[in-house]
Amino acid sequence: MSDVQVVTFRPGPGEYAWTFGGAAPAVRVTPPAILEVFTEDCFAGRVRGENDLVSQVCEFPYLNPQTGPFYVEGAEPGDTLAVHFISIEPARDWGASTTVPLFGALSATHATALLHEPLPELVWMWHFDRAQGTCRFTARRGDYTVDLPINPMHGTVGVAPANLEVRSALVPDAFGGNMDTPEMRAGVTCYLGVNVEGALFSLGDGHARQGEGETCGVAVETAMNTVLAVDLVKGRPCAWPRLESATHIMSAGSARPLEDAFRIAQLDLVQWLGSDYGLDPLDAYQLITQAVESPLANVCDPNYTSVAKLAKQYLPRAPAMDGAHARLSDVAVTYRGA
């Protein structure tokens, strides 16, 4: 680990970022680097019990605090930032979820205007059993309980947008941001195209677990202790966020309407099969049509996010994104053994 910088960063109360772009760097790192970070939950830690209604305890628009941004030395537009999640662990023994007025897939919103009253606010507290690796759902209007597996992930991972834009940490787009995909878990490498010098990478919005689509708009929100490795793929652009695991490659598209998010992800995967695996676009289109998985990430944010996911077993044996996932996986193994 002597040639890998290790940075530990826990933001103070006034040190979180609330946007992608427009925030000064909190820390400068030289890749390859290991980041050991704390991230606060999307409520900034203010929802701690069933009586803590978001509309009363949270200050809009200060939701989804981000840890960062991290200035990555040597990152330039046209490069790709590779972020490998070594571990994601809840920093508390509980998480919170809630309904939020005029928000969520099954509610009227400002963009989907309907003539009905906002849904009532209810808070569900989820308690974790670390030994069993579970979190407990307890009905608010009944006596039902059930334990679900903890599956920690980060809802928000991104870099500064292009063209001098500043975007809310609630929004997903080409820069990443609030994609809310359960695929963003330990063992996965996320690829983000660099738009500005230094990339200005941030992350947050830890979820102990989340179903595909994040239907009500709120997962099991909790603070996280996360370890990740970052590196650069120089001279390699990446138009939309990509993910790679030991078994799959994935593209994430964000837009409204949902079918456009789907199209973005599927097209990016077609182009990825061309650039890294040498497939003709129509051959890639056909293969993807028959083999792709298309999990929803979120259908509640200002932009929706769709994922196109393809098993590596169906692809030629070739390293994706210049082998960054394998390289950073080796860094992770060394870190764990250090």
Per-residue pLDDT tens over the stretch 185-216 = 999 999 999 999 999 999 999 999 999 999 99
> What is the structure's pLDDT at 109?
86
Across 222-251, average pLDDT = 98
Q: Which residues pair with 233 in a beta bridge?
A: 80
Q: Which amino acid is at 117?
A: E
Across 209-231, average pLDDT = 98
- Map out the domains of the chain with their CATH numbers: 5-337 (2.60.120.580)
Cα radius of gyration (the chain): 19
The pLDDT-based confidence of 303 (bands split at 50, 70, 90) is very high
* CA-to-CA separations, 4 to 147, 235, 241, in angstroms, rounded: 39, 21, 25
Q: Kindly state the helix (H) or strand (E) to which residue 55 belongs, with its residue range.
A: helix 54-57
What is the average pLDDT value for the chain, to the nearest integer? 96
Q: Kindly state the helix (H) or strand (E) to which residue 261 belongs, with its residue range.
A: helix 258-277
Please tell me the distance from the alpha carbon of residue 201 to that of residue 102, in angstroms, as a whole number.
30
pLDDT at 74 exceeding the cut of 80:
yes
Provide the percentage of residues in the chain whose pLDDT is more than 90.
Answer: 95
Q: Which residues pair with 28 in a beta bridge?
A: 71
Nearest alpha carbon to residue 52 among 61, 60, 43: 43
